[in-house]
Structure 1
Amino acid sequence: MSEQPGSGHAVTVLVREQCHLCDEAVTAVREICSELGARCTTEDVDADAEQRAEYGDRVPVILVDGAEHGFWKVEPARLRAALQR
């Protein structure tokens, strides 16, 4: 049995509380990850001083396998392509 495209990839969305763009990004990313079999988690950027310093002015930030993929909005076609590699 072969693996589903995207399985093995991990997507993390860096968010903060009371951020409507974060809520929208998480919904979109979860939908795409579910479709492609990738793992999806969220992390509160304000819970870690290093993350807050690096990413705090760009939330939501999407990380694919730990590398920054994008910020502020989800580009569905681009995220799907990254998860299908």
Structure 2
Amino acid sequence: MSSRVTLYTRPGCHLCDDARAVIERVCAELGETYEEISIAGVEDLEQKFGEEIPVTLVDGRQHDFWRVDETRLRTALTG
């Protein structure tokens, strides 16, 4: 089973740390998993997401960037 939530990050990103904490909390609460992918050194991902990191996808569609709204994420996963 694949994760419904994907978090694109880069090393040393404090906003990524904040987003990860929210995603971990919501996913644990709802019994969901998430996948974290670093864009570092991946040219196509750096071009696509470079200025918006962290980027969160839910069910393969972009959900948030820079910050993750906990209530909005919970709603998207329980929708």
Q: How many angstroms does 1:65 deviate by?
A: 1.5
Give the TM-score taking structure 1 as reference length: 0.84
* Equivalent pair of 1:25/1:74 in contact (CA under 8 Å): yes
Q: For 1:48 and 1:65, how far apart are their aligned partners in 2? A: 22
- Structure 1 residue matching 2:40: 3-state secondary structure: helix
Tell me if 1:21 matches 2:21: no
Q: Percent identity?
A: 37
Q: Does the residue aligned with 1:46 lie in a helix, a strand or coil?
A: coil
In structure 2, list runs of 5 or more residues that go unmatched: none
Counterpart residue type for residue 17 of structure 2: D
Residues 34 and 47 of structure 1: CA distance in aligned 2, closer, same or farther (over 3 Å):
farther
Report the count of equivalent residues.
Answer: 78
Residue 36 (1) aligns with residue 23 (2): no
Structure 1 consecutive aligned stretches of length 4 or more whose deviation exceeds 3 Å: none
What is the CA distance between 1:48 and its match in structure 2? 2.0
Is 1:50 the equivalent of 2:48? no
Given that 2:54 and 2:67 are in contact with CA atoms closer than 8 Å, whether structure 1 keeps it comes out as yes
Label 1:80 to 1:9 Cα distance change in 2 as closer, same or farther (>3 A). farther
CA–CA distance in 2 between the matches of 1:80 and 1:38?
10
TM-score of the two chains, using structure 2 as the length reference: 0.90
For 1:28 and 1:65, locate their aligned partners in 2 and report how far apart those are by CA, in whole Å: 17
Equivalent in 63, 67, 70 of residue 64 of structure 2: 70
Larger radius of gyration: 1
Q: Any gaps of 5 or more consecutive residues in structure 1?
A: 1-7
